[in-house]
Amino acid sequence: MAWMAKKVVKPGNEEERKRRLSKILRRLNIDYPHVECALRHDSAWELLVATILSAQCTDVRVNMVTPALFERYPTIDAMAAAPVEEIEELVKTTGFFRNKAKSLKGAAQKIVSEFGGAVPSTLDELLALPGVARKTANVVLGSWFRKATGVVVDTHVQRISRRLDLTGQTDPKKIEQDLMAALPRRRWILYSHQIIHHGRRVCIARKPKCGECRLNDLCYADDKLG
């Protein structure tokens, strides 16, 4: 179905904004009802590793790299004891591989020494690990532990949330605060997954498929295409 591109008048009061947001969330549910994290993983540790590697790298590339990495170092203890040069070689194609290898080894060592060999399940504890910032912590907490402690703000979420006028910020931390204030807490995890999938399939950065977008009539972007 084609959705006509047109300028949209922004709602003037809080009730209108709430109704518009409800429409956005309902339509996302229609197109992406059961989406989950695109990073392949079978444990909290594998998801943590994959998310650290995903910085400035596509999920597709990360999913190509992690099988060999986990085959070589199948446990947290094995990663903690691994020569950092060997980790570098295995993650080289993800970019920034020296920093990422250092973070993986450091995170594994800290988990072994301070958390009994198990990935911690609180925001503060995760943020204490090398290579882990809010985005990574939110991914692990939301996708593995099912804890809605925040909203994952990747490049898709940042770009599309601004196009939908759910935030006017450019800093990911401030965008997350706006989204946490606007969205029902029960939608914090799912919203990010849905927007990420939408950004890959429809609202593509270089050439958005506005004519195919179910959110077209709710979008305020100046560069909408027919």
Is the CB of residue 100 less than 8 Å from the CB of residue 108? no
Is the CB of residue 50 less than 8 Å from the CB of residue 40? yes
Catalytic residue flag (residue 171):
no
Give the whole-angstrom CA distance, residue 65 versus residue 140: 19
Active site residue: 100, 105, 110, 135, which one? 135
Quick one: how many helices (H) and strands (E) in the chain? 11, 0
Give the whole-angstrom CA distance, residue 12 versus residue 39: 39
> Encoding tokens for residue 86?
């060997």
Active site residue: 154, 165, 178, 209, which one? 154
Length of the chain: 226
Catalytic residue flag (residue 173):
no
Burial of 1-23, coded b for 16+ CB within 10 Å and e otherwise, reads eebebeeeeeeeeeeeeeebbee
Active site residues: 135, 154
